[in-house]
Amino acid sequence: MNWWLPPQASNFAPRIDGMFTAILIITAIPFFLVEIGVLIFIFKYKGRAGQKGHYTHGNTRLEMIWTAIPAVTMVALGLLSNSFWVQIKGRNSVPADAYPVGVHAKQFEWWVTLPGPDGKLGRTVDSLISKANPTGLDTTDAGAKDDIVTRNQMHLPAGRPVVAYLTAEDVIHSFYVPEFRVRQDVVPGMHIKAWFVATVPGKYEIGCSQLCGLGHYKMRAQVTVHTQADFDAWAKEHAPQPKAGGE
Amino acid sequence: MSHAMAVGQGGPMDPPFPAERGVDVYNKKLGMWVFLASEVMFFAALIGSYIILRFGAPGPWALPGVVLNIKITAFNTFLLICSSVSMVKAYAAVSDGDVGKMKFWLLMTILGGACFVGIQVFEYIHLVERGFVPAGVREGSELAEMVAKGELPGATMGLYGSTFFTMTGFHGFHVTCGVISMLFLYLTKALPGKYTQQDHAGIEVVGLYWHFVDLVWIILFTIVYLI
Amino acid sequence: MATTTHKHPPYIMIWIYLAVLTALELGLAFEFARNWTFGLKLTLLMILAIWKALLVALYFMHLKFEKWNLRLVALFPLPLTLILLAAGMSEHIW
Amino acid sequence: MTTVAASPHTGHAHHDDRSFVTKYIFSTDHKIIGIQFLFLSLFFLLVGGILAMQIRWQLGFPGKPMPGGGILPQTMAPGGVILPEYYLQLVTMHGTFMVFFAIMLLLVGVYANFIIPLKLGAHDMAFPRINMASFWSAFISGILMLSSMFVADGAPRAGWTMYVPLSARHDYSGVGFGQELWSISIIFFGLSSVLGSLNYITTVINNRAPGMTWFRMPLSVWALFITAVLGLLAVPVLAGAAIMLLFEQVLGTHFFDPSAGGQVLLWQHLFWFFGHPEVYILILPAMGLVSELIANGSRKPIFGYHSMVFAIVGIAFLSWIVWGHHMFVSGMNPTLGSSFMVTTLLIAVPTAIKVFNWLSTMWRGNLRFHTPMLHAIGFVTMFTIGGLSGIFMAATPVDMFIHDTYFIVAHIHYVLFGGSLFAIFGSIVFWFPKMFGRMMNEGLGKLHFWLTFIFFNTTFFPMHMIGMAGHMRRLYDPTIYEFLRPVQPLNVFISVNAFLLFAAQIIFFVNFWWSMFKGEKASQNPWEDNGLEWTLPNPAPHGNWETPPTVYRGPYEFSAPGVTEDYLPQNRKLPTDREPALSPAGH
């Protein structure tokens, strides 16, 4: 089995893994200091009857040192991660040319809407949600005509920024693809965007990572990342058939 | 020794030995202040939720005075302020050694508090009759018609009902607790004459609670009824 | 027991003070300020409410006559409530 | 004898004419209440542990009939196979019992009650009857919580964090009355906690013995005092939130209902505004208790007493402004996330001070490896891991990946089991003679420590790894996911070790009960400690002291030069000591 993080398949993954490794190294230093220190002290200062310990109440300079070092390290770590954080989640950080994907979560399935050739997601209205129209797509909206709605399937082009418009129908779910290192809660009543670039074509799993009820454990979907050419072919094949007469 | 005796009043809960001084108030009073600090956080959760919900509400809030009866509540506010004054008069009387006056003012306070609760119950009954309930507006009621006519914003009436009844309800609950504890003190301590100029911790401590409840109402009245 | 033998604060005056402020609040909300903006009314009403609350806390609850450490006990929760409010409201600012 | 001055509430042991009921059941004696809390919380610790074993069975061997599971009703585990319904109840109730009724009651209920008056030289708590009310409302709360497992539809299934809307609407969670019982129970719990806290705070401020200045207070009392402040101000917020949740369930209010303008994140803000101080309520007292044990076991003054105090205060202060780190991926305003990240990382500073000061306390000591000391060393080493793994989550980008995975589960268990529970075990052994007048068996104690230490690590360390593989929390059956199938062997390994860990606790329970009746009689100061409580007989009489002790020095004067023994009780007068002036505290 794999003893490290899962394979990297998005633009954020290498940097997040890099931070993970960096923190691991930073934390390893105090970890070994403490654990080895305890071990040494245990053997070196094992008590003997009739003996006394060293009578001291502390050392201000030493304490200043181990206050200052963590303080500086932590503030630096915070500043370093913050710019990355803003890049990932900042509300204005989504690239303008990102490919929009609608993700609608409900107990216990994921409904994914792709915008089709026009590159626009159709309007969705909560009151239109029904068995036949699980995402509440407003078919009178021009952007909705060519939208592709799939259940528990997500198809994405590789190498292109994708922005997921996350909506939830009932309870909180969480959109999570381990290989992308992307996680975002999907909250009813909120319109949350999550963007990333899928870099490696292949099949991955979406898991729900926020307890959402009895079927939480099986609220699972598949992401297929295609090369742009394959993706176009797939989209063409699955384009909705224009209905006669219109609605 | 005399220094130490100033710490407490020699009540049964005070340390009978010269403990080192803390904040120079006796245990019961300090305990009440500490308790009030926790009450602040309790009401902060309720009132804070109201402010946060109203701040992020999906539409305009109902105008003040449309749903709630301002006149009767204004009178109720005045009543609670009066009972706060009578409470502090009771405390002033007993610390001046006038036990008879203390009994009178304490009784006035109890009556004021009881009237407040009574009027609030009356107000609730009236509101529920008109269709204002914790879940918002009851179907087929007078207020539901007003919502249909556009005189009340339907989108926020649910939040209005939820927050109004929770906040004022728990305030009313606190008033009720205050009235009961004051009545208890009146019957078991004040009437048998156990309060003296030297020993009247109960009056001061329950008074602190009572003024706090009054203070919460002052805030509630403004943010719930007037805004 | 700071006030045991001292003169008491003028409780009746404060009572009148509170009643007048309440009347002012009612007037502001329903009578003479109909055309004022909501923001202005909100600000003025909050100032009046805090003013009244301060009167109760300082005189009726004797905070004015207590030592600083007891005042600290009383005031300690207030910043916490403000932090909670600020964080809760910030959801809607951006 | 000469105790005429004492009031009825602080009467002395010579003439203990209280009936059995007022002495042991509706007792106002802080020591009895502490012991009552001990039994109550150990019971819930056992219940929580049994629930955890069932969780581990399902995760290690999903779909296989659980040994002995046949006794469970059909609605939970037909034929011993755990249903998803029951699994979510297990997860929820394990968290709820362990956090609220086991660890919190063990630390705050037991030790705050038992040792604050003893260590401060007070006769009792400031308000003994309120103290009794605090225990009994905790008891009612616990019974209500436990009863939720036996009502129709069973216990709540929304996780111990009770995220709305899942917990607020019965049609989402599939649970009816059980969900409401959770809210009601938490309201009682809040009452108990506030009553307890105001008692502890008042006692510490007002009821210290002469000479016990602020900076002569033992670190355990400091930690419990600061914890009480946190509990006092945090728990009412939870109670308020629980009331709103209850109204949501019962009255149909719309606080958390997005379709009527309610806000889902409001619950999370309120819950974690309480929840993060709560986390420190669960660890600060443990830190304080461990400081006592380490100083005693090292026979040295605690290194940097003042900075230890300031670190406790610093952690408590920071606890109010970090709660958002539970919500980094919740859809909360990302700018808020940035500020919460920085404040969260800063917690590492006071924590580092404490860890290094414990380490330096051991440096050049004359170490005695009695069972409490072993547990204290276990605490320091394991808490270090738990603390350091927190830095991963504090860094928001990394948190995006490991949030809600088993990495978090590993972290919380390293802090709460490796941290708090080791401190609790050590403290139970340490103060057992004070409670029951007998020593716990050292051999069994050490065996228990080593088995617990080993199996604790083999159980929880691999959870970091399955978390790094992306293993989500609260999954009924992880093998559904393809990417989790390769880590399933590790899940089996964890489960087996968890069973062994549970089995090791049997040693503790046997030792506890056996020692209570048959243990070696304790001498007056069995650990040769400096605390005021050891100047009393074991167990201490009702009312504690006839004449209050006078305190001449700080609590950690071990190995002081010029003294024959290597310890120096706080109230032993040396020729050079002056009587304390009755000046205001801290001056």
Is residue C1 included in any domain, yes or no?
no
pLDDT over threshold 50, residue A244: no
Structure tokens at D353: 């001070």
Q: Pick the residue from chain D with its C-alpha nearest to A82.
A: D338
Structure tokens at D461: 């360390």
3-state DSSP call for residue A196?
strand
Instruction: Report CB contact under 8 Å: C80, D332.
Output: no
DSSP C77: H
pLDDT over threshold 70, residue A5: yes
Range(s) of the domain holding residue C38: 11-66
Structure tokens at D194: 């506030």
pLDDT over threshold 90, residue A225: yes
Q: Provide the edge-to-edge strand list for the sheet that holds A220-226.
A: A153-157, A220-226, A202-208, A173-177, A182-186
In this complex, which of C56, C67, C81 lies closest to B44 when CB atoms are compared?
A: C81
* Catalytic residue set of D: 94, 124, 160, 192-193, 276, 278, 280, 291, 325-326, 351, 354, 473
Average pLDDT rounded to a whole number, residues D198-211: 91
Report the neighbours of D using a cutoff of 3 or more CB pairs below 8 angstroms.
A, B, C
Structure tokens at A5: 């993080």
Q: What pLDDT is stored for residue B223 in this prediction?
A: 93
Query: What string of DSSP letters covers B165-210?
Result: HHHHHHHHHHHHHHHHHHHHHIIIIITTT---SS--HHHHHHHHHH
CA distance D266 to chain C (A): 7
Instruction: Report CB contact under 8 Å: B42, D240.
Output: yes
Is residue C5 included in any domain, yes or no?
no
Q: Which of A175, A169, A136 is nearest to A152 (CA)?
A: A175
Q: What is the dihedral of CA B218, B221, B223, B226, to 10 degrees?
A: -130
Average pLDDT rounded to a whole number, residues D349-369: 94
Instruction: Report CB contact under 8 Å: C61, B211.
Output: yes
Domains and CATH numbers, chain D: 38-535 (1.20.210.10)
In this complex, which of D265, D352, D473 lies closest to A70 when CB atoms are compared?
A: D352
D302-338 pLDDT, tens digit each:
999 999 999 999 999 999 999 999 999 998 988 899 9
What residue segments make up the domains of chain B, in order of their start? 26-226
3-state DSSP call for residue B161?
helix
* Sequence-ordered list of residues with C-beta below 8 angstroms from that of B85, at least 6 positions apart, any chain: C11, C12, C14, C15, C60
Q: Is the dihedral of CA D269, D270, D273, D279 positive or negative?
A: negative
Beta bridge partners of A151: A111
Polymer length of chain B: 227
DSSP A159: T
Q: Pick the residue from chain B with its C-alpha nearest to C84.
A: B48
Beta bridge partners of B39: none
B9 contacts in chain C (CB < 8 Å): 1
Q: What is the dihedral of CA D369, D371, D374, D375, to 10 degrees?
A: -160
Cβ of residue A212 closer than 8 Å to a chain D Cβ: yes
Average pLDDT rounded to a whole number, residues D186-195: 96
Chain-centroid distance, C-alpha B180: 12
Cβ of residue D263 closer than 8 Å to a chain C Cβ: yes
Cβ of residue A229 closer than 8 Å to a chain D Cβ: no
Query: What string of DSSP letters covers D431-473?
Result: HHHHHHSBPPPHHHHHHHHHHHHHHHHHHHHHHHHHHHTT-BT
In this complex, which of B19, B38, B162 lies closest to D232 when CB atoms are compared?
A: B38
CA distance D110 to chain B (A): 21
Q: What pLDDT is stored for residue A103 in this prediction?
A: 95
3-state DSSP call for residue B8?
coil
Average pLDDT rounded to a whole number, residues B81-108: 94
Beta bridge partners of A137: A124
Q: What is the dihedral of CA C27, C30, C34, C37, to 10 degrees?
A: 90
Cβ of residue C84 closer than 8 Å to a chain D Cβ: yes
Is residue C88 included in any domain, yes or no?
no
Is residue C73 included in any domain, yes or no?
no
Instruction: Report CB contact under 8 Å: A190, D369.
Output: no
Structure tokens at D272: 């974690």
In this complex, which of C11, C22, C41 lies closest to B89 when CB atoms are compared?
A: C11
Cβ of residue D198 closer than 8 Å to a chain B Cβ: yes
Instruction: Report CB contact under 8 Å: A213, D172.
Output: yes
Report the neighbours of B using a cutoff of 3 or more CB pairs below 8 angstroms.
C, D
Report the neighbours of A using a cutoff of 3 or more CB pairs below 8 angstroms.
D
Q: Where are the beta strands (DSSP E) in B1-61?
A: none
B141-197 pLDDT, tens digit each:
999 999 999 999 989 999 999 999 999 999 999 999 999 999 999 999 999 988 988
Which residues 29-68 of A have a C-beta within 8 angstroms of D?
30-31, 34-35, 37-38, 41-42, 45-48, 51-59, 62-63, 66-67
Q: Quote the crossing angle between the two packed helices C11-26 and B70-95, to the nearest 10°.
A: 170
Q: How many whole angstroms separate alpha carbon D208 and alpha carbon B7?
A: 12
CA distance C91 to chain D (A): 5
B34 contacts in chain C (CB < 8 Å): 73
pLDDT over threshold 90, residue D21: no
Q: How many whole angstroms separate alpha carbon D140 and alpha carbon D148?
A: 12
Residue C19 · residue B82 · CB < 8 Å: no
Instruction: Report CB contact under 8 Å: C94, D273.
Output: no
DSSP B223: I
Q: How many whole angstroms separate alpha carbon B64 and alpha carbon B53?
A: 17
Q: Provide the edge-to-edge strand list for the sheet that holds A99-106.
A: A148-151, A109-114, A99-106, A161-168, A192-197
Is residue C86 included in any domain, yes or no?
no
Q: Pick the residue from chain B with its C-alpha nearest to C67.
A: B23
Number of structural domains found in chain C: 1
Instruction: Report CB contact under 8 Å: D236, B17.
Output: no
pLDDT over threshold 70, residue D63: yes
CA distances from D73 to B59, D149, D168, D180, D214 (A): 49, 12, 26, 22, 55
pLDDT over threshold 60, residue A185: yes
pLDDT over threshold 60, residue B86: yes
Q: Where are the beta strands (DSSP E) in chain A?
A: 99-106, 109-114, 148-151, 153-157, 161-168, 173-177, 182-186, 192-197, 202-208, 220-226
Confidence of residue B6 (pLDDT cuts 50, 70, 90): very low
Q: Pick the residue from chain B with its C-alpha nearest to D213.
A: B20
Is residue C23 included in any domain, yes or no?
yes
Q: What pLDDT is stored for residue D25 in this prediction?
A: 85
Q: How many whole angstroms separate alpha carbon D261 and alpha carbon B135?
A: 12
pLDDT over threshold 70, residue B22: no
Cβ of residue D168 closer than 8 Å to a chain B Cβ: no
Instruction: Report CB contact under 8 Å: C83, D320.
Output: yes
Structure tokens at A43: 């053997």
**Considering chain A, what is the average pLDDT of its residues?**
90
C76 contacts in chain D (CB < 8 Å): 229, 233
Q: Which residues of B114-139 are buried (b: 16+ CB within 10 A; e: fewer)?
A: bbbbebbeebbeebeebbbbbbbbbe
* Sequence-ordered list of residues with C-beta below 8 angstroms from that of B135, at least 6 positions apart, any chain: B158, B161, B162, D251, D252, D253, D254
Average pLDDT rounded to a whole number, residues D182-188: 96
Q: What pLDDT is stored for residue D4 in this prediction?
A: 37
Average pLDDT rounded to a whole number, residues D177-193: 95
In this complex, which of C76, C83, C91 lies closest to D333 when CB atoms are compared?
A: C91
Q: Pick the residue from chain B with its C-alpha nearest to C89.
A: B52
Q: What pLDDT is stored for residue D3 in this prediction?
A: 35
Backbone angles phi, psi at C34, to 5 degrees: -55, -35
Structure tokens at B170: 């728990």
Per CATH, the number for B26-226 is 1.20.120.80
Confidence of residue B9 (pLDDT cuts 50, 70, 90): very low
Q: What pLDDT is stored for residue D15 in this prediction?
A: 56
pLDDT over threshold 70, residue A1: no
* Sequence-ordered list of residues with C-beta below 8 angstroms from that of C71, at least 6 positions apart, any chain: C63
Q: Which residues of D343-360 are buried (b: 16+ CB within 10 A; e: fewer)?
A: bbbbbbbbbbbbbbbbbb
In this complex, which of D263, D270, D333 lies closest to C94 when CB atoms are compared?
A: D333
* Sequence-ordered list of residues with C-beta below 8 angstroms from that of D304, at least 6 positions apart, any chain: A57, A58, A59, A63, D353, D357, D360
Instruction: Report CB contact under 8 Å: D333, C76.
Output: no
Q: How many whole angstroms separate alpha carbon D402 and alpha carbon D394?
A: 11
Q: What is the ipTM of this complex?
A: 0.92
Q: How far apart are the first and last CA of chain C?
A: 50
Q: How many whole angstroms separate alpha carbon D206 and alpha carbon D200?
A: 10
Residue B216 · residue B171 · CB < 8 Å: yes
Structure tokens at B109: 């306070």
Residue D348 · residue D315 · CB < 8 Å: no
Average pLDDT rounded to a whole number, residues D250-271: 93
Q: What pLDDT is stored for residue D543 in this prediction?
A: 86
Q: Which residue has the higher pLDDT, C6 or D227?
A: D227
3-state DSSP call for residue D8?
helix
